[in-house]
Amino acid sequence: MNINLSSDIPKKYREQLYSVGAYAKKLGLSAWVAGGAVRDFYLKRPTLDIDLAFSGNQESVAGFCVKQWGGGKRKFSQFGTFRVNMVDGLKFDMVRTRKEKYPYPGSLPQVEFSPKIKDDLFRRDFTVNSWCFSILPDTFGQTYDAFGSQKDIDGGIIRILHDKSFLDDPTRMLRATRFAGRFGWTLAPKTERLLREAVKGEYPLLVTRERFSREFLKVLKEEKIKKIFLLMEKYDMLKFAWPGLQWHDALLNSQDVQERVGILVCMLGASGEDFLRSLHLPKEFTQEILGAWKVTREKMSPLGSLSPLQKEILKAVVPGLPPMALEPCFVRGRELKDLGLAGRRISGALDRVRQAQWAGEVKTREEAQAFLKAH
């Protein structure tokens, strides 16, 4: 069933989308909002990322948006996509309607442009994301529903569009649990069966670690992260993120993705460093997380100051730490030299003070000095 969603589009988006549609019409293009934004508008949920699909070359439309509302545009040449980030925070991903085929399982798709919006919708991950509506002035808000999207959204059903969907792109397995957890939806029986077959066939190993990690990091951004993790546990998918990875309530102590990564790294223990390096994160971020991980491994107060991020990770991972546990050690090696210690005796004494500070047995510099003299 095709309905009109114009009244469901928030006013701040409606005016911009109408202007884009009017400009596209001047160029002789058809233009649609497609994908997750249509679902979110229908559900009256907030969204900032809007996918626009055009029946022909969309580059001048991207330029029009920057000229009208400020910001910048970026081209992803491999797929002919333009991303426009506007100064008000709104983001348009603009594509030319296309077909996709996967030369081998887990590969990036090969693109062939097609003027048919139905072809473009069929390349999507699930029926709930394969809905669109026109933004041309004459048909603004009119939906096109080729695959039963509205029915599945109303029924809370996650359904793939064809039987080879998980084989073509195994990251859809993560997305299936992510959307199911976020919305409280369930997988259609056939989709669930194919997901279990994909787990058994270890399809996630067909994609690069970098692609899988990018999708896993999206899980860590979700508000209902516990539901998603429990679904991944149910379907035995967490092992693809990392062997031994499991849910920890400490993750609920933060909404921040960086903190959540750090919590998982620390909770993994000895393999935490390898897991972290597998995520392909920026070097500075990786080093900061490793600093917190090393503290959890040593169980001693740090020698130097910790960053706010490191402190938040450690508070989540080791609840009930004494206030001074995360402060730099009260004494320095040179002070131990003054007490007549040398070589390994210095490092041994320093470690004992750090352990005592971590445990809350020494709370001040004076107590630390007294502890040293007593031991």
The tokens 């390096």 sit on which residue?
277
Tell me what pLDDT residue 346 has.
61
List of the chain residues with pLDDT < 70: 77-79, 333-347, 375
Dihedral angle sign, alpha carbons of residues 62, 63, 69, 75: positive
Token look-up 């005016």 returns: 15
**What is the Cα–Cα distance from 218 to 174, expressed in whole angstroms?**
9
Indicate the pairing of strand 81-85 with strand 91-96: antiparallel
Residues with Cβ within 8 Å of 78's Cβ and at least 6 positions away in sequence, in order, are 108
272 vs 262: CA distance, rounded Å: 9
According to the model, what pLDDT value does residue 12 have?
A: 82
- Give the model's pLDDT for residue 128: 97
CA–CA gap between residue 113 and residue 98 (Å, rounded): 4
What pLDDT does 337 receive?
59
Q: How high is the pLDDT of residue 78?
A: 67
